[in-house]
Amino acid sequence: MAIKTEPLVVNIGPQHPSTHGVFRMRVTLDGERIIDAEMIVGYLHRSMEKLAEERTWTQNIPFTDRMDYLAAMTGNLSYCIAVERLAGIEVPERAQYLRVIFAELQRIASHAMANGTFVNDCGAWQTPLFYMFREREKVLDLFEMTCGARLTLNYMRIGGVAFDLPDEFLPQLRSLLDELPDRFGEYEDLLIDNEILLMRSRGIGVLSPELAMNASMSGPMLRGSGIVWDIRKADPYCVYDRMDFDIPVGHTGDCYDRFVVRMEELRQSVRIIEQAVEQLPPGSHLADVPLNLRPPKGEIYSRIESPKGELGFYLVSDGGPEPYRFHVRSPSLLNLSALREMVVGQTVADAIVTLGSIDINVGEVDR
Amino acid sequence: MAATTRIGGAQLAEHIEAGVADAIEETAEDWVLVRPERLVEVMTFLRDDRELDARYLNALSGVDHFDYFEIVYHLSSLSHNHEMTVKVRADHDEPEAPSVVSVWHGAHLQEREIYDLLGVNFSGHPNMKRIFLWEGFPGHPLRKDYMAMPGGQSPGLRRFPKEDPEQWAGEFRGD
Amino acid sequence: MPLLANWYDLRDLGNGVARLIEALRDAGAPDGLIYAITGLLGAVAILLFVGLAAIINIWIERRLIARIQVRRGPNRVGPFGLLQPVADALKLIQKEALQPNNADGIVFTLAPIVIFIPVILAFAVLPWGEQMVLADLNVGVLYLLALGSTTPIILFMAGYASNNKYALLGSMRVIAMLISYELPMVMALLGVVTFAGTMQMSGIVDFQQTHWSWLIFFQPLAFLIFLLGGTAELNRTPADIAEAESEIIAGFHIEYSGMKFGLFYAAELVNAVAMSGIIATLFLGGWWAFGLEQWVPGWLIFISKIYAVYFILIWFRGTLPRFRIDQLMAFAWKFLLPLAIINVFVVALEVLLWREYELSAGVVLPVAAVVNFALAGVLIAGWARVMGQAFERAPKKPRLFSEIEVPLPDEAAPEAGSGQTEPATV
């Protein structure tokens, strides 16, 4: 006798501890197995693109903080670089180095958060999250020391950075850099060989390189799938062409690969910061930029490698004091493109792990 | 370490003409404008061509130019490390453009976003629904003439657009 | 120990009760009254301990987890935050106990109350000292197992009555998990019972006292299996799939609020104490500790053993990620159960040889200990290797490239790319 069963529709989110904000996934379950999944976003839509058309070029910088609030520095950076390229502004060399230092510090903070929450989603009762928060706190202390804010930094300016380094910044950065590799080692000892973590994340949420490229994945998602691509190498901005660092690339494209790619990127970021501090030149930190900036008529698509992936800005200027069109190519949104392909056929527990490994930030998904 | 090279409009047009005849409407310094009816064909050609190899869709943006909508495709090749820009135009009153989801899976969410905020209808899209705003939201807010939309809506902080309760019927059970 | 020590001899609180019985008997009280009075005394004592433990354990668990997680934990209310649980309880009592519209009201309310019954009943057979057993059943082990089997029904009551999909998923999981883990646990205890030759809890302690050793030394495999099965039974990490916070939020008690939730929470903590007590009695000698009980009250020894085991449970919780449900089932059926069965066979053989040839315990027990330890090591390592999966062998380090390198679609993938460098840190 056949048992009559019917699929169960479950809303995962928008209020759910593991959706990292107000993300909603409507899954259809057969027992515990997912047979269909649909993502529903928009709970955090703040119409930034519309608002930005009403504000001057400089006034738009704080919006980019609030997009990916876990990596505000790179949001600032991407927008400022786009406007500078559009308006043809030269940035002083010291500012370029400072931008590299802060962008990489931000990458450490963001990846720490991503890996911590990922293991948390695997069910480790918050211990790895707190380990990673310990490092993130110190990075945020450095941010606070420099620009007075910890989360929404608003530090980059068009033509440079807002403030020069305070005196005590470099010694504290130095001690942090000495400490970080040991801390990452501790974290790896706890997790890299952890049998349960391996069981939970190996072979889960596999993303083939073809689909990764076709679905416009970027950042650790793309690299986890085995594609050797990093905008810092491919299209160097700031002074990344003077830095020596490696691109970590995964083997199979599963959740574990994305996790170890992020772990290795933490180490590479420390390497980059060390070089940048060594080469840091004296000089001005901010170019002279007119207060009422009016870039020439034209359009630009400019992208950088944010911690989440390729963060691009498509800006159209009509020669006025405000952007005519301000479009954000947000990595968090596009990394969700293949979510359905990744989670269908898995169990609920795997879907949560997969979502955790994508490392979305709903602020950036919805904007 | 070389920066990404940009394939100019003229060069790109030349390539496209060699593959897909009679597809180019206009050529500029940085971009080419493609006829909407040939768009999918051109995009498939760009993706599969070995020399252009535009397998990666960077971004898909929509711009309201008052008389027409412009959909901008930023493509790049990870192998050759070059990028190119293709545009297509849609009519302002009944905006419609062909969907490129069959070419790049990554266009899926971005086309939904443009539909939601600008109201360009992508024909051939498998799931043409609003993505950020709810079904029944009046108008498409990223349009330049959103403030003067028919129906007497005046957006802004003063009055938030009300949703249509009929739209929600059946969505929630209970009560 | 003399049969009737002074009532103020704190080493065994049973002395006072024995004096009381004697006095009542002298006064000519009927047996029924004596039975009722002594039973009530013991029950009140146990309930006092359970109530205190539930409150203290919140603090202990939160502080310890906080220490593991490099933070401070509750330290504001009272000295060292000791009054935090009281504040929590007060808050929970004040909160409205919501009930969903479509919930089954009676079952929904009943579940958090009923869940306490098997938990508290388990304490009845635990020996706290030589004479400190409330109900010294001669089928004590069987009784404990029977109590453990009722828990899934109550958890299912909670999950089903909530009329919530997450709760339903959680109770589905809890049934599957608890029934699976029942088997290896029973098998593990079978080894212990065979070895000790009795099902009476005090008898098992006596056995350990007589042979001057704890049963963990003779039954290491059974101890491990029982400990792992116990974490599953308790719904604790790494087997907390029933209430998996990051997946199905709180599982079966998602709809509970206020003190109804508080009861579930307290039952969980008390359950952990009961499980620790069972482990401490069966494997760690209960109140007996190599002669130490002559100077330190046996019940204090027992409580410290309970908390030693409880510490291991907290440690698990602070360290390990969670299994997926099918992995957890596979772990029970493919790993724990076969090992437990092998263990039963080996123990039966040892006991058979011991009894059949009337060997002296001094010879058999050391040999059995060595054999069982070796067996445990070999079996665990060997079985893990046999059952080990491909994910163990795949490389764990990412490949490192110094230059970007993406092949065209018809070219080979960059398996051993030219730009690849050795990992800087291994």
pLDDT of residue C418 exceeding 70, the answer is no
Which tens digits make up the pLDDT trace of C91-113? 888 888 788 888 888 888 888 88
Q: What is the dihedral of CA A109, A113, A119, A122, to 10 degrees?
A: -160
> What confidence tier does B160 reach under pLDDT thresholds 50, 70, 90?
very low
Count CB neighbours of A247 within 10 A. Answer: 27
Specify the pLDDT at position C417. 45
User: Is A280 part of any domain?
Assistant: yes
- A334 with B55: Cβ contact below 8 A: no
> What confidence tier does C56 reach under pLDDT thresholds 50, 70, 90?
confident
User: Is A131 part of any domain?
Assistant: yes
> What confidence tier does C410 reach under pLDDT thresholds 50, 70, 90?
low
Quick check: helix, strand or coil at residue A68? coil
Query: How is residue C405 annotated by DSSP?
Result: B
The answer for residues whose C-beta is within 8 angstroms of residue A119's C-beta and 6 or more apart is A128, A129, A191, A197, A259, C321
Number of domain units in chain C: 1
Is residue B174 less than 8 Å (CB to CB) from chain C?
Answer: yes
Number of domain units in chain A: 1
What string of DSSP letters covers C254-308?
TT--HHHHHHHHHHHHHHHHHHHHHHHHHHS-TT--TTGGGTS-HHHHHHHHHHH
Chain A residues touching chain B at CB-CB below 8 Å:
41-42, 45, 47, 49-50, 211, 213-217, 227, 229, 233-236, 241, 299, 301, 303, 310, 312, 314, 316, 324-325, 327, 329, 333-334, 336-338, 366
Structure tokens of B67? 């008389």
User: Is A136 part of any domain?
Assistant: yes
Q: Alpha carbon A5 to chain centroid distance?
A: 42
pLDDT of residue A1 exceeding 70, the answer is no
Amino acid at position B17, single letter:
E
User: Is C376 part of any domain?
Assistant: yes
Closest C-alpha to A45, from A330, A340, A323, A337: A330
Q: What angle, 0 to 180 degrees and rounded to 10, lies between the N-to-C axes of helices A127-147 and A169-191?
A: 170
CA angle A300, A304, A305 (to 5 degrees): 155
Specify the pLDDT at position C109. 87
Query: How is residue A151 annotated by DSSP?
Result: S
The answer for residues whose C-beta is within 8 angstroms of residue A38's C-beta and 6 or more apart is A25, A26, A27, A340
Q: Is ipTM beyond 0.90? A: no
Closest C-alpha to C176, from C164, C188, C186, C168: C168
User: Is A333 part of any domain?
Assistant: yes
CA angle C237, C242, C246 (to 5 degrees): 70
CA distances from C120 to B117, C48, C60, C117, C223 (A): 60, 11, 20, 5, 23
CATH of the domain at A161: 1.10.645.10
CA angle C8, C10, C13 (to 5 degrees): 90
Specify the pLDDT at position A147. 87
Closest C-alpha to B36, from B79, B81, B83, B91: B91
Average pLDDT for residues B28-35, to the nearest whole number?
86
Is residue B173 less than 8 Å (CB to CB) from chain C?
Answer: no
pLDDT winner (highest mean) among A123-132, C12-21, C179-188? C179-188
Specify the pLDDT at position A128. 83
> What confidence tier does A12 reach under pLDDT thresholds 50, 70, 90?
confident
**Mean pLDDT over all residues of chain B?**
78
Specify the pLDDT at position C346. 87
Quick check: helix, strand or coil at residue A41? coil
The answer for residues whose C-beta is within 8 angstroms of residue C7's C-beta and 6 or more apart is C15, C16, C19, C20
- Cis preceding-peptide flag for C238 (omega within 30 of 0): yes
Average pLDDT for residues B74-96, to the nearest whole number?
86
Q: What is the dihedral of CA C45, C50, C51, C56, to 10 degrees?
A: 120
Which tens digits make up the pLDDT trace of A69-106? 888 889 899 999 999 988 888 888 889 899 999 999 99
Which of B59-63, C153-157, C350-354 comes out lowest in average pLDDT? C350-354
The percentage of residues in chain C with a pLDDT greater than 70, rounded to a whole number, is 91
Count of alpha carbons within 13 Å of C413, Cβ hemisphere only?
11
8 A C-beta contact, residue B101 and residue B128: no
Query: How is residue C197 annotated by DSSP?
Result: T
Specify the pLDDT at position B164. 53
Average pLDDT for residues C321-331, to the nearest whole number?
84
Query: How is residue C11 annotated by DSSP?
Result: T
Q: Alpha carbon B151 to chain centroid distance?
A: 26
Within A148-285, residue ranges assigned H as helices are 169-191, 195-201, 209-214, 220-224, 231-234, 255-279
The answer for residues whose C-beta is within 8 angstroms of residue A77's C-beta and 6 or more apart is A99, A102, A103, A156, A238, A304
Specify the pLDDT at position C423. 45
Which of A193, A249, A349 is nearest residue C247 as measured by Cβ atoms? A349
Tokens 């309760």 sit on residue: B165
Partners of A337 on chain B (C-beta within 8 Å) are 105-106, 108-109
pLDDT of residue B21 exceeding 80, the answer is no
- Tell me the C-alpha distance between B73 and B77, whole Å: 13
Is residue A6 less than 8 Å (CB to CB) from chain C?
Answer: no
Q: What is the dihedral of CA A266, A268, A269, A275, to 10 degrees?
A: 150
Interface test with B, best of C101, C403, C404, C406 (most B CBs within 10 A): C406
8 A C-beta contact, residue B138 and residue B144: no
The DSSP element (H or E) to which A28 belongs, if any, is strand A24-30
Q: B126, exposed or middle or buried, with CB in 10 Å at 0-12, 13-18, 19+?
A: exposed
8 A C-beta contact, residue A312 and residue A303: yes
Count CB neighbours of C210 within 10 A. Answer: 11
Specify the pLDDT at position B156. 46
8 A C-beta contact, residue C68 and residue A127: yes
8 A C-beta contact, residue B97 and residue B120: yes
Q: Where are the domains positioned within chain B?
A: 5-132
Average pLDDT for residues A210-221, to the nearest whole number?
87
> What confidence tier does C411 reach under pLDDT thresholds 50, 70, 90?
low
pLDDT of residue A173 exceeding 60, the answer is yes
Which of A143-147, A188-192, C140-144 comes out lowest in average pLDDT? A188-192
The answer for residues whose C-beta is within 8 angstroms of residue A104's C-beta and 6 or more apart is A269, A270, A272, A273, A276
Average pLDDT for residues A284-292, to the nearest whole number?
83
- Tell me the C-alpha distance between C150 and C242, whole Å: 16
Specify the pLDDT at position B147. 62
Closest residue on chain C to A199 (Cα) = C391
Task: Determine phi and psi for C216, rounding to 5 degrees.
Answer: -60, -30
Quick check: helix, strand or coil at residue B14? helix
Range of the domain at A333: 48-366
Average pLDDT for residues B84-105, to the nearest whole number?
87
Partners of A47 on chain B (C-beta within 8 Å) are 141
User: Is A40 part of any domain?
Assistant: no
pLDDT of residue C132 exceeding 50, the answer is yes
Average pLDDT for residues C78-99, to the nearest whole number?
85
pLDDT of residue A163 exceeding 50, the answer is yes
Specify the pLDDT at position A188. 83
> What confidence tier does C393 reach under pLDDT thresholds 50, 70, 90?
low
User: Is A39 part of any domain?
Assistant: no
Partners of C101 on chain B (C-beta within 8 Å) are 174
Average pLDDT for residues C72-91, to the nearest whole number?
85
The answer for residues whose C-beta is within 8 angstroms of residue B90's C-beta and 6 or more apart is B36, B68, B69, B70, B71, B96, B97, B120
Amino acid at position A44, single letter:
L
Which tens digits make up the pLDDT trace of C145-173? 888 888 888 888 888 888 888 888 888 88
- A10 with C166: Cβ contact below 8 A: yes
8 A C-beta contact, residue C112 and residue C103: no
Q: Alpha carbon A18 to chain centroid distance?
A: 18
Specify the pLDDT at position C416. 45
Task: Determine phi and psi for C295, rounding to 5 degrees.
Answer: -105, -35
pLDDT of residue A54 exceeding 50, the answer is yes
Q: Are strands B24-27 and B68-77 parallel, antiparallel or unpaired?
A: unpaired
> What confidence tier does C1 reach under pLDDT thresholds 50, 70, 90?
very low
Count CB neighbours of A244 within 10 A. Answer: 9
> What confidence tier does C419 reach under pLDDT thresholds 50, 70, 90?
very low
| CATH entry 3.40.50.720 includes domain B5-132 | no
Specify the pLDDT at position A52. 86
- C408 with B79: Cβ contact below 8 A: yes
- B50 with C408: Cβ contact below 8 A: yes
- A250 with C398: Cβ contact below 8 A: yes
Within C115-139, residue ranges assigned H as helices are 116-122
**Mean pLDDT over all residues of chain C?**
81
The percentage of residues in chain C with a pLDDT greater than 90, rounded to a whole number, is 0
pLDDT of residue A338 exceeding 80, the answer is yes
Specify the pLDDT at position C364. 75
3-state percent breakdown (helix, strand, coil) of chain B, nearest 5: 25, 25, 50
Count of alpha carbons within 13 Å of C364, Cβ hemisphere only?
16
Partners of C404 on chain B (C-beta within 8 Å) are 78, 81
User: Is C277 part of any domain?
Assistant: yes
User: Is A353 part of any domain?
Assistant: yes
B neighbours by CB contacts (3+ pairs under 8 Å): A, C
Which of A127, A227, A352 is nearest residue C69 as measured by Cβ atoms? A127
Which of A163-167, C192-196, C361-365 comes out lowest in average pLDDT? C361-365
User: Is A71 part of any domain?
Assistant: yes
Count CB neighbours of B97 within 10 A. Answer: 24
Closest C-alpha to A226, from A246, A252, A247, A261: A252
Range of the domain at C295: 14-387
Q: Alpha carbon C252 to chain centroid distance?
A: 20
Tokens 């969505």 sit on residue: B171
CA angle A107, A172, A178 (to 5 degrees): 70
The answer for residues whose C-beta is within 8 angstroms of residue C404's C-beta and 6 or more apart is A228, A229, A230, A233, A234, A247, B78, B81
CA distances from B155 to A366, B65, B139, B161, C312 (A): 19, 20, 10, 7, 60
Which tens digits make up the pLDDT trace of A300-326? 898 898 898 888 899 998 888 888 888
Count of alpha carbons within 13 Å of C50, Cβ hemisphere only?
25
Average pLDDT for residues C175-200, to the nearest whole number?
86
Specify the pLDDT at position C5. 62
Rounded to a whole number of angstroms, the distance from the CA of A102 to the nearest CA of chain B is 22
